[in-house]
A and B are shown apart, each in its own frame.
Chain A
């Protein structure tokens, strides 16, 4: 009896092995691509549906790995030098993609140039060749506030510079709190608000020239923005000292501060986005818009599929799915406003109404300038009287045209 059972078991296992082997060999090969991006936690959860759709549409498998751009900047040079890559599609800073284009696939033929907002492709274009594919982006629309907080204290959204200064004074004196929360971390939240001041008071044209280096940080027009607008507010104590940006976000939400300058991703970080209001510095005509860019390394083992994936993600379908998930603004002009969640739609409308969008100053220049810019602004925030030294230090690392 036992022998018969053992023989039957052997036969069954043999048949099963044969069947599994046949299945493996008969099935068409589905390559597994590695996508490297910065989104973790809830942001990752919103990105996964886009990748799932890509898997079905392109007949591939996708493995998503989380790396911050700072970490990638350390890993990639050595990998590329060895002719290897940790990912097939990698999200990275635009400046880094431009600088390392010798390792990057030219995507000019797969990008639909006329389908993107003006200025989006310029950041990843060198000598007419496009090295990065734009994904969705985040806008930095201005100072966020809680609608309920403004209602409670009878505060009004300012429409002129004087009204803005009066609002800060009112918050400080009547409500009794520091009006503006200053986010820290590596330093980028301070650069965002500073860029907003420059855009508002020096204009988009000067702002772009700051990026190219034609206008210097020590030029009179930039000095004026600091001397007459930003520094007096810092000296008056209207900005808090920099604090870790997620910690201070919670404090701001708990009404320990009234205003917080932050990008549109804030909508996904607060308990009740419906209570969010936002206003720019009165008179602002241009806004900073930060798209996320991806590139395909030349050393990908699945080059054809990786290019197709980059095309899908930067295309209308990929961006639409991401926009529906919330917290992202499309870089393509063919993604309709109707697909946005309500709070993102408000932000997208600001973007549509803006006379111009510009790229983030420090993200576009990158390199040593970026860290120095962040670090010097942290210094300025606690020592506004040294603003001229700060501007000189920033100018010293600003690229020349």
Chain B
């Protein structure tokens, strides 16, 4: 009886999930094994995508400037964006903890998170503009004129890093908020005990704060990796993956295959690859939630 009633309650959400999640996902996987004429081609679409210079360009990576291929660009996103946004988030959360009026600064940092990504993309475009960019103005103040006089998004050497740094500005608010919540959960007694033992501020940070922030760090790392793998909107608006595909990413490549080249099967293969890549962090989150 109980089992039956559970089923009845589950049914509506299961039906919705089946129509809007399970069926499209399975259909995408199905599509990825066929060619445009509907002929079964096995893993051919995957080989095509992975062997394409658009996805991995070893002729240029790592010694020449981008384009290095979308997969490598996504990896660079993770390598640069993840530590930067994580460390900055931690820094702001710790530094702004006991400062008067810090909520205004925190609000400003969090602005990037609440802003629509499309607006964020446009902001990035302007942030690195040679005439009106705030980053360029800063560089000019520091005397780095050769870099300040370039619109970063127009140059293959800088467009990838411009989108990543813009992404850091957008995402830092997220890690800061998570760290702030985690910091407030650390009992004051620990610090008081450390004070009695004569611990310095640095010792307290490395021996109390940092270890107790581990669960929060895991959440930020997983969520950030997911964000970096799926990144699309800000790249689409800021550079459209260019110039010369130098800032292109997997999600944008998938979009181009589907809606520009009308190659839905190859686009499906990229979608499956992206899903597989995001599956690891997603499983970790699911497991943590169950625990």
Q: Tell me the A residues contacting B by CB distance below 8 Å.
A: 73-74, 99, 184, 186-187, 241-244, 251, 367-368, 370-371, 374-376, 378-379, 381-383, 390, 393
A376/B240 in contact, CB under 8 A: no
B261/A368 in contact, CB under 8 A: yes
Chain B residues in 8 Å Cβ range of A74: 259
The interface-forming segment of B35-43, B150-158, B282-290 is: B150-158
A367/B260 in contact, CB under 8 A: yes
Instruction: Report if A243-B156 is in contact (Cβ < 8 Å); known contacts: A367-B262, A368-B260, A375-B241.
Output: no
Q: CA A209 – CA B246 in complex, angstroms? A: 30
How would residues 236 to 272 of chain B score, 1 for a CB under 8 Å from any chain A CB and 0 otherwise?
A: 0000111111100000000011011111000000000
Chain A residues in 8 Å Cβ range of B259: 73-74
Which residue from chain B places its CB closest to the CB of A371 in the assembled complex? Answer: B260
B262/A379 in contact, CB under 8 A: no
Q: Does B228 contact A (CB under 8 A)?
A: no
Which residue from chain A places its CB closest to the CB of B156 in the assembled complex? Answer: A379
Q: Does B125 contact A (CB under 8 A)?
A: yes
A379/B244 in contact, CB under 8 A: yes
- The one of A186, A241, A244, A376 that contacts B244, using a Cβ cutoff of 8 Å: A376
Chain A residues in 8 Å Cβ range of B156: 379, 382-383
Chain A residues in 8 Å Cβ range of B246: 379
Q: CA A244 – CA B145 in complex, angstroms? A: 22
Which residue from chain A places its CB closest to the CB of B132 in the assembled complex? Answer: A247
B260/A370 in contact, CB under 8 A: yes
Least Cβ–Cβ distance between B48 and chain A, in angstroms: 13
6 contacts between A and B (CB under 8 A): A187-B242, A368-B261, A375-B243, A379-B156, A379-B244, A381-B154
Chain A residues in 8 Å Cβ range of B155: 241, 382
List 14 additional contacts besides A375-B245, A382-B156, A390-B244; criterion CB under 8 Å.
Answer: A186-B240, A241-B154, A242-B243, A251-B131, A367-B262, A368-B261, A371-B256, A374-B242, A375-B244, A378-B154, A381-B243, A382-B155, A382-B243, A383-B156
Least Cβ–Cβ distance between B121 and chain A, in angstroms: 12
- The one of A241, A371, A390 that contacts B150, using a Cβ cutoff of 8 Å: A241
Chain A residues in 8 Å Cβ range of B125: 244
Chain B residues in 8 Å Cβ range of A378: 154, 242-244
Q: Give the one of A251, A370, A375 with max B CB within 10 A.
A: A375
Q: CA A378 – CA B261 in complex, angstroms? A: 20
Which residue from chain A places its CB closest to the CB of B243 in the assembled complex? Answer: A378
Q: Give the one of B150, B241, B257, B261 with max A CB within 10 A.
A: B261
Q: CA A237 – CA B108 in complex, angstroms? A: 40
Which residue from chain B places its CB closest to the CB of A186 in the assembled complex? Answer: B240
B261/A367 in contact, CB under 8 A: yes
Q: CA A378 – CA B155 in complex, angstroms? A: 8
Which residue from chain B places its CB closest to the CB of A256 in the assembled complex? Answer: B131
A184/B261 in contact, CB under 8 A: no
Which residue from chain A places its CB closest to the CB of B122 in the assembled complex? Answer: A244
Chain A residues in 8 Å Cβ range of B257: 368
- The one of B130, B151, B240, B262 that contacts A187, using a Cβ cutoff of 8 Å: B240
| The 7 residue pairs across chains A and B that have the minimum distance between CB atoms | A379-B244, A378-B243, A368-B261, A375-B242, A379-B243, A241-B154, A73-B259
Least Cβ–Cβ distance between B37 and chain A, in angstroms: 15
Q: CA A378 – CA B263 in complex, angstroms? A: 24
Instruction: Report if A241-B241 is in contact (Cβ < 8 Å); known contacts: A73-B259, A73-B260, A371-B260.
Output: no
Q: Give the one of A73, A242, A244, A378 with max B CB within 10 A.
A: A378
Least Cβ–Cβ distance between A211 and chain B, in angstroms: 17
Q: CA A390 – CA B243 in complex, angstroms? A: 11
Chain B residues in 8 Å Cβ range of A186: 240
B245/A382 in contact, CB under 8 A: no
B242/A243 in contact, CB under 8 A: no
Q: CA A74 – CA B262 in complex, angstroms? A: 10
Least Cβ–Cβ distance between B253 and chain A, in angstroms: 11
Least Cβ–Cβ distance between A111 and chain B, in angstroms: 26
Q: CA A250 – CA B140 in complex, angstroms? A: 23
Which residue from chain B places its CB closest to the CB of A70 in the assembled complex? Answer: B259
A368/B256 in contact, CB under 8 A: yes
A243/B154 in contact, CB under 8 A: yes
Q: Give the one of A187, A251, A376, A382 with max B CB within 10 A.
A: A382
In B144-186, the 8 Å CB interface with A consists of 150-151, 154-156
Chain A residues in 8 Å Cβ range of B256: 368, 371
Least Cβ–Cβ distance between A228 and chain B, in angstroms: 23
Q: Give the one of A186, A371, A374, A381 with max B CB within 10 A.
A: A371
